[in-house]
Structure 1
Amino acid sequence: MAELDQEEMLTSAMIRAARGLLGLDQAGAAKLAGLSQRTISKLEAEDDLSSKDLRRRNALKAIRSGFEKAGIEFIFPDEKSGQGVRIKLASK
Protein backbone atom coordinates (compact mmCIF):
# COMPACT_ATOMS: atom_id res chain seq x y z
CA MET A 1 0.00 0.00 0.00
CA ALA A 2 1.25 3.47 -0.83
CA GLU A 3 1.98 5.96 1.90
CA LEU A 4 -0.90 8.29 2.57
CA ASP A 5 -0.40 11.78 1.21
CA GLN A 6 -2.79 14.63 0.65
CA GLU A 7 -3.64 13.41 -2.87
CA GLU A 8 -4.51 9.92 -1.58
CA MET A 9 -6.36 10.84 1.58
CA LEU A 10 -9.43 8.82 2.47
CA THR A 11 -12.53 10.87 3.07
CA SER A 12 -15.46 10.15 5.36
CA ALA A 13 -17.61 9.50 2.29
CA MET A 14 -15.10 6.99 0.92
CA ILE A 15 -15.07 5.08 4.20
CA ARG A 16 -18.88 4.97 4.30
CA ALA A 17 -19.05 3.92 0.64
CA ALA A 18 -16.52 1.14 1.15
CA ARG A 19 -18.51 -0.13 4.12
CA GLY A 20 -21.66 -0.08 2.02
CA LEU A 21 -20.07 -2.04 -0.82
CA LEU A 22 -18.91 -4.70 1.65
CA GLY A 23 -22.21 -4.71 3.55
CA LEU A 24 -20.51 -3.83 6.83
CA ASP A 25 -21.76 -1.79 9.76
CA GLN A 26 -19.31 0.36 11.71
CA ALA A 27 -18.50 -2.50 14.10
CA GLY A 28 -17.66 -4.79 11.16
CA ALA A 29 -15.48 -2.13 9.57
CA ALA A 30 -13.70 -1.59 12.88
CA LYS A 31 -12.98 -5.30 13.19
CA LEU A 32 -11.67 -5.40 9.62
CA ALA A 33 -9.31 -2.50 10.35
CA GLY A 34 -8.34 -3.59 13.86
CA LEU A 35 -9.81 -0.42 15.37
CA SER A 36 -12.65 0.45 17.72
CA GLN A 37 -16.15 1.13 16.45
CA ARG A 38 -15.88 4.54 18.12
CA THR A 39 -12.87 5.41 15.94
CA ILE A 40 -14.75 4.49 12.76
CA SER A 41 -17.77 6.48 13.93
CA LYS A 42 -15.69 9.57 14.73
CA LEU A 43 -13.81 9.47 11.41
CA GLU A 44 -17.00 9.04 9.40
CA ALA A 45 -18.56 12.03 11.15
CA GLU A 46 -15.71 14.44 10.36
CA ASP A 47 -15.61 16.69 7.32
CA ASP A 48 -11.82 16.93 7.16
CA LEU A 49 -9.71 13.82 7.68
CA SER A 50 -6.38 15.53 7.15
CA SER A 51 -3.59 13.36 8.50
CA LYS A 52 -1.99 15.93 10.76
CA ASP A 53 -1.60 13.71 13.80
CA LEU A 54 0.04 10.30 13.97
CA ARG A 55 -2.95 8.50 15.53
CA ARG A 56 -5.26 9.65 12.75
CA ARG A 57 -2.72 8.75 10.05
CA ASN A 58 -2.33 5.29 11.56
CA ALA A 59 -6.12 4.81 11.80
CA LEU A 60 -6.60 5.84 8.16
CA LYS A 61 -3.80 3.50 7.05
CA ALA A 62 -5.42 0.64 8.98
CA ILE A 63 -8.83 1.36 7.45
CA ARG A 64 -7.40 1.56 3.95
CA SER A 65 -5.38 -1.61 4.38
CA GLY A 66 -8.30 -3.57 5.84
CA PHE A 67 -10.70 -2.50 3.11
CA GLU A 68 -8.17 -3.15 0.34
CA LYS A 69 -7.53 -6.67 1.68
CA ALA A 70 -11.30 -7.20 1.63
CA GLY A 71 -11.42 -6.29 -2.07
CA ILE A 72 -12.04 -2.54 -2.11
CA GLU A 73 -10.22 -0.24 -4.49
CA PHE A 74 -10.04 3.45 -3.62
CA ILE A 75 -9.96 5.91 -6.52
CA PHE A 76 -8.32 9.23 -5.77
CA PRO A 77 -8.95 12.50 -7.60
CA ASP A 78 -6.78 13.40 -10.56
CA GLU A 79 -7.07 15.73 -13.52
CA LYS A 80 -9.67 13.45 -15.18
CA SER A 81 -11.93 12.29 -12.37
CA GLY A 82 -12.96 12.65 -8.76
CA GLN A 83 -12.77 10.27 -5.84
CA GLY A 84 -14.50 6.93 -5.73
CA VAL A 85 -14.68 3.46 -4.30
CA ARG A 86 -15.22 0.20 -6.13
CA ILE A 87 -14.83 -3.52 -5.68
CA LYS A 88 -11.76 -4.99 -7.36
CA LEU A 89 -12.17 -7.77 -9.87
CA ALA A 90 -10.99 -11.12 -8.58
CA SER A 91 -7.62 -12.19 -9.95
CA LYS A 92 -7.72 -15.15 -12.30
Structure 2
Amino acid sequence: MSDELLTPTLIRAARALLEYDQEALAERLGISRKTLALIETMKPGGPVDPRRRRVLEEMKAKMEHEMHVEFIFRGDSTGEGVRLRRR
Protein backbone atom coordinates (compact mmCIF):
# COMPACT_ATOMS: atom_id res chain seq x y z
CA MET A 1 0.00 0.00 0.00
CA SER A 2 1.02 3.57 -0.50
CA ASP A 3 2.62 5.42 2.40
CA GLU A 4 0.09 8.21 1.85
CA LEU A 5 -2.58 8.21 4.54
CA LEU A 6 -6.00 9.69 4.16
CA THR A 7 -6.47 13.01 5.91
CA PRO A 8 -9.70 14.18 7.51
CA THR A 9 -10.06 16.71 4.68
CA LEU A 10 -9.75 14.02 1.99
CA ILE A 11 -12.26 11.78 3.76
CA ARG A 12 -14.82 14.57 4.13
CA ALA A 13 -14.28 15.63 0.50
CA ALA A 14 -14.75 12.06 -0.74
CA ARG A 15 -17.90 11.69 1.36
CA ALA A 16 -19.30 14.91 -0.09
CA LEU A 17 -18.41 13.85 -3.64
CA LEU A 18 -20.23 10.54 -3.09
CA GLU A 19 -23.16 12.41 -1.50
CA TYR A 20 -23.03 10.21 1.62
CA ASP A 21 -23.64 11.24 5.19
CA GLN A 22 -21.41 9.78 7.89
CA GLU A 23 -23.81 6.92 8.59
CA ALA A 24 -23.98 5.83 4.93
CA LEU A 25 -20.22 5.97 4.36
CA ALA A 26 -19.47 4.19 7.63
CA GLU A 27 -21.88 1.40 6.65
CA ARG A 28 -20.25 1.03 3.21
CA LEU A 29 -16.82 0.91 4.85
CA GLY A 30 -17.83 -1.54 7.56
CA ILE A 31 -17.00 0.77 10.47
CA SER A 32 -19.13 2.58 13.01
CA ARG A 33 -20.34 6.13 12.45
CA LYS A 34 -18.56 7.10 15.67
CA THR A 35 -15.25 5.78 14.32
CA LEU A 36 -15.71 7.74 11.09
CA ALA A 37 -16.59 10.89 13.03
CA LEU A 38 -13.44 10.52 15.16
CA ILE A 39 -11.28 10.00 12.07
CA GLU A 40 -12.81 13.01 10.32
CA THR A 41 -11.88 15.24 13.27
CA MET A 42 -8.36 13.92 14.01
CA LYS A 43 -5.47 16.35 13.75
CA PRO A 44 -3.30 15.58 10.71
CA GLY A 45 0.46 15.51 10.83
CA GLY A 46 1.13 13.71 14.08
CA PRO A 47 2.00 10.07 14.73
CA VAL A 48 -0.76 7.60 13.82
CA ASP A 49 -1.58 4.63 16.01
CA PRO A 50 -1.03 1.32 14.12
CA ARG A 51 -4.71 0.36 14.50
CA ARG A 52 -5.85 3.73 13.11
CA ARG A 53 -3.29 3.39 10.27
CA ARG A 54 -4.79 0.00 9.35
CA VAL A 55 -8.33 1.43 9.36
CA LEU A 56 -7.22 4.36 7.16
CA GLU A 57 -5.49 2.01 4.71
CA GLU A 58 -8.59 -0.22 4.52
CA MET A 59 -10.84 2.81 4.03
CA LYS A 60 -8.63 4.07 1.21
CA ALA A 61 -8.59 0.68 -0.53
CA LYS A 62 -12.39 0.30 -0.32
CA MET A 63 -13.09 3.83 -1.52
CA GLU A 64 -10.64 3.45 -4.41
CA HIS A 65 -11.71 0.00 -5.57
CA GLU A 66 -15.41 -0.18 -4.68
CA MET A 67 -16.50 3.46 -4.87
CA HIS A 68 -14.09 4.56 -7.63
CA VAL A 69 -12.68 7.51 -5.66
CA GLU A 70 -9.26 8.76 -6.66
CA PHE A 71 -7.28 10.55 -3.96
CA ILE A 72 -4.81 13.26 -4.88
CA PHE A 73 -2.28 13.80 -2.13
CA ARG A 74 -0.54 17.07 -1.37
CA GLY A 75 2.67 17.52 -3.32
CA ASP A 76 5.32 20.21 -3.67
CA SER A 77 3.26 22.07 -6.25
CA THR A 78 -0.27 20.72 -5.72
CA GLY A 79 -2.88 20.59 -3.01
CA GLU A 80 -4.87 17.56 -1.98
CA GLY A 81 -8.19 16.60 -3.51
CA VAL A 82 -10.52 13.85 -4.67
CA ARG A 83 -12.24 12.92 -7.89
CA LEU A 84 -14.25 10.02 -9.27
CA ARG A 85 -12.56 7.67 -11.73
CA ARG A 86 -14.36 6.71 -14.89
CA ARG A 87 -15.75 3.21 -14.65
When the two chains are superposed, the root-mean-square deviation of aligned CA atoms in Å is 1.6
Q: Is the 8 A contact 1:32 1:67 kept in 2?
A: no
The match for 1:72 among 56, 69, 73 is: 69
Instruction: Determine what percentage of the aligned residue pairs are the same residue.
Output: 37
Q: TM-score, normalised by structure 1?
A: 0.82
Comparing 44-53 and 70-79, the one that deviates more: 44-53
Q: Which residue of 1 aligns with 2:21?
A: 25
Q: Is the 8 A contact 1:33 1:65 kept in 2?
A: no
Distance in 2, Cα, partners of 1:49 & 1:34:
25
Distance in 2, Cα, partners of 1:74 & 1:25:
19
Instruction: Write out the 4+ residue segments of structure 1 that deviate beyond 3 Å after TM superposition.
Output: none
The number of residue pairs the alignment matches comes to 86
